[in-house]
Amino acid sequence: MTRNDTIAGTVLGAATLAMGLIAGSFYVFACAVMPGLARSDDRVFVEVMRDINDVIQNPVFLLGFLGALVLTGVSAWQLRGEPYRRRVWAALAVYALAFLVTVGFNIPLNNGLEGAGEPADLREEFEGAWVVWNVVRAVLSTVALGCLGAALVGYGRNRRDWASAGPSAG
């Protein structure tokens, strides 16, 4: 393996880690946060979602959210000649859709929740649509994670095969 192969494997691993963190974030919202908030009254629901929308805009979350996209893109480029490259490109395409869902639906819904109005009305316009789009992005990012995991397995096999071939293979 060359130094470039090791860098490519590191980027693929980092992309997989970032994707796992983001898929897990969307999953937790789908399975726990939103069902828990669904039990609250309208005022509490709106206040808590506003607080979440405020605090989630932090460097750590953004690093994972944007990093999953950028690292997967870089990895797809680096591995363009490898037999498992299609899995990385598939991960990039699927996560790009999840990213677009977030930017096109979830963020505008979050912004709409910031407006003035009765909590019941704000919740009515927000909750159902936001939950549906969150589930969509959770599924998409989980599929992307699976694709990256499969690519990591391919990378490991490729590396093992190269190492077992010995110095005469190069």
Confidence of residue 170 (pLDDT cuts 50, 70, 90): very low
CA distance 163 to 123: 58
Q: Express each pLDDT in 39-52 by its tens digit.
A: 999 999 999 999 99
Please state, as a whole number, how many other Cβ atoms lie within 10 Å of the Cβ of residue 47: 13
| pLDDT value at 163 more than 70 | no
Q: Express each pLDDT in 7-36 by its tens digit.
A: 999 999 999 999 999 999 999 999 999 999
115 contact partners, CB below 8 Å, separation of at least 6:
122
